[in-house]
Structure 1
Amino acid sequence: MTHLVRDGVRLEFEESGAGEAVILHHALTSDRSAWRANGVAQTLSATGFRCVLVDAAGHGDSEVAQNTARSSLAARVADVIAIADRLSISRFGFVGYSMGAWVGTGLLAKHPMRLSHLVLTGWDPLKGARLFTDRVNEQERRREFLELAGLITAHAPVSARRLSGFADTYMELFRDILAFPVRAKDVEGILLACGIEDPYFENAKRAARMSGAKFQPLAGDHLQAFHSPDLARIICSWLSDAR
């Protein structure tokens, strides 16, 4: 495991495998171990990819930021670029799930020349998290999320400070939505994948059609799709064919 400090926050990450670099970015409240739990990291490493698994700021072994601005899309994109630079990776594939896919849209907008391929899974590139809840009031949204996050992390409770950081990021998922597609022509290939029972499904499919990206439906809802036994195979097959 390796780390760096950017803007006062210690970020942890690790590598496995050798070959073309692929950065894997997890969902909100999750951490880098999720990519091993669902088999994506092992499958990519065994197929000749250099996998970089990151713990986003406030997640896993990375530190929780004191400043709420560190939860913004710009800050999280800058974290990914800093990790790539530390590892001397000039161009990389990027795979993001949910919040991780949100970060992927930021990379596409701000650093398209750093991306070789982009996989956005479990995300609505058109409306962000707005279809995830019918709450309009920001305080109600935050309260609803904190209740959900408490249930999600019940098996491994986190500190109140970390939980508050999750909520700060959740609120950003409604505010910082970039136009899609953005400079998609600079990236060799884009894959969008989403669970058929995910509220993001129809907009993900629509975004793929608008941008000329490949779209792949997955079984299950927002959480189930990430653990689908097909996900690792689909991502690995697509990235391998795109090389």
Structure 2
Amino acid sequence: MSFDDADAYVPGHFVTQDGLRLYTRDYQANGRAAQGVPVICLAGLTRNSRDFQQFALMLSRDESAPRRVITIDSRGRGNSAWDENKSNYNIAVECGDVIAICDSLGIERAAFIGTSRGGLLLHLLAAARPGLISGLVLNDIGPVIENEGMAKIRDYLNASQPIDDWDGAVAALRRIHERNFPALSDRDWLDMAQAIYAEKDGAVAADYDPAIAAQLLTLDLSQPLPTLWPQFEGLSNLPVLAIRGEHSELLSEATFADMAQRHRGLVRLTAAGQGHAPSSTIPTSTPRYPPSFRKPELAARNGRIWTVAKGLCLPRLSLDKKKKPGSKAGLPRLTEVRPD
């Protein structure tokens, strides 16, 4: 897979109010008029646009319903500039960056996909700009973050060693994650490495400001981390697909189940053989629908995560904009989903 195919997207740069230069990728809709709202992808804590390359190509080049897809490198990640004020590496500031980028691009409504920290941003975004989100996918993140999982992330991000080449990058990832990702092939591990690392000064290095990882050292993990249940419950009138890695140590099975109780329309999907956070290219399990949901037949019950996401929440999402009994004015109601 080529993560930097110049023909696949239009690179963009946006300057924030505080003068920081942010990077975006704009995947145009297959040379034709885009169908439906654009899709905006937000990556994890230290990740970047490359995580979404395959998904963005799939959506933007879909023959029946091509979508415009925009991916954002948050400040300090990927091709975005590092912030001299390290305290700006927080979800409130980064949420403001997403809103500003949408305003700059003239986007009034979009479907969003958030992996890990990107999903935390979406909890805030729904409260700060509720009309902006038409539907969302939360990839291995929820209102409760498990301390054990956060401690593991803190430790391995702050204990990284110099890497000489791509074989070394793959080996480093395997040492950390292989136990939780038995589903990954050799090609998958290389794809992960090429998404996370970049070649710099003749070596392979993690593609983010080390200060982002250093912030985790200040967390008091002897106490439960703050939760986002009020913000999650604010998503109850939006269509949401929640994905959990089978071996995730950040999103527990208990929280995953509780999310379905608090959002009656939530569709859940478990990524078999994967941990935090699931890759978009690996076969996964059958989605679990809420009891009230009209279950469509899946052509392939062992589909790939983003293929299922595409069918559930994106191109064929049917939103009833008329006010129905018991619904809130101005908010869409999920009426039917037809996966491929």
Q: Is the 8 A contact 2:241 2:269 kept in 1?
A: yes
- From the two aligned structures, give the one with the greater helix fraction: 1
Opposite residue 158 of structure 2, the aligned amino acid is: L
| Greater mean alpha carbon deviation, residues 102-111 or residues 7-16 | 102-111
Q: How does 1:45-84 map to 2 (within 5 A)?
A: 45-47=60-62, 48-84=66-102
Structure 2 counterpart of 1:190: 240
Opposite residue 307 of structure 2, the aligned amino acid is: R
Structure 2 counterpart of 1:214: 267
Unaligned runs of 5+ in 2: 1-10, 163-171, 174-195, 199-203, 284-303, 319-340
Q: How does 1:25-64 map to 2 (within 5 A)?
A: 25-36=42-53, 39-47=54-62, 48-64=66-82
Structure 2 counterpart of 1:9: 20
Opposite residue 310 of structure 2, the aligned amino acid is: C
Identity %: 22
Q: Is the 8 A contact 1:109 1:182 kept in 2?
A: no
SS of equivalent to 1:24: strand
**Number of aligned positions between the proteins:** 233
1:232 to 300, 306, 309: 306
Q: CA deviation at 1:57?
A: 0.7
Deviation string, structure 1 residues 92-132 (Cα, Å, up to 9, x no partner): 11001111111111112322221000110011x23225341
In the superposition, the TM-score normalised over structure 2's length comes to 0.61
Q: Is the 8 A contact 1:26 1:99 kept in 2?
A: yes
Does 1 or 2 have the higher relative contact order (CA < 8 Å, sep 6+)? 1
Call closer, same or farther: CA 1:133–1:168 in 2, change over 3 Å. Answer: closer
Q: CA deviation at 1:68?
A: 2.3
Question: Within 1, Cα distance between the matches of 2:137 and 2:98?
Answer: 15
Q: Is the 8 A contact 2:244 2:271 kept in 1?
A: yes
Structure 1 counterpart of 2:167: none
Opposite residue 182 of structure 1, the aligned amino acid is: E
Unaligned runs of 5+ in 1: 136-140
Q: Is the 8 A contact 2:236 2:263 kept in 1?
A: no
| Greater mean alpha carbon deviation, residues 209-218 or residues 163-172 | 163-172
Deviation string, structure 1 residues 156-178 (Cα, Å, up to 9, x no partner): 3148x811224337868x86642
In the superposition, the TM-score normalised over structure 1's length comes to 0.83
Opposite residue 147 of structure 1, the aligned amino acid is: A
Call closer, same or farther: CA 1:133–1:166 in 2, change over 3 Å. Answer: closer
Call closer, same or farther: CA 1:177–1:63 in 2, change over 3 Å. Answer: farther
Call closer, same or farther: CA 1:10–1:171 in 2, change over 3 Å. Answer: farther
Call closer, same or farther: CA 1:210–1:231 in 2, change over 3 Å. Answer: same
SS of equivalent to 1:75: helix
Question: Within 2, Cα distance between the matches of 1:61 and 1:74?
Answer: 21
Considering only aligned residues, what root-mean-square deviation do their CA atoms show, in Å?
2.8
Call closer, same or farther: CA 1:227–1:30 in 2, change over 3 Å. Answer: farther
Opposite residue 8 of structure 1, the aligned amino acid is: G
Question: Within 1, Cα distance between the matches of 2:160 and 2:280?
Answer: 18
Matched, 1:120 2:138: yes
Q: CA deviation at 1:204?
A: 2.6
State the structure with more CA Rg: 2
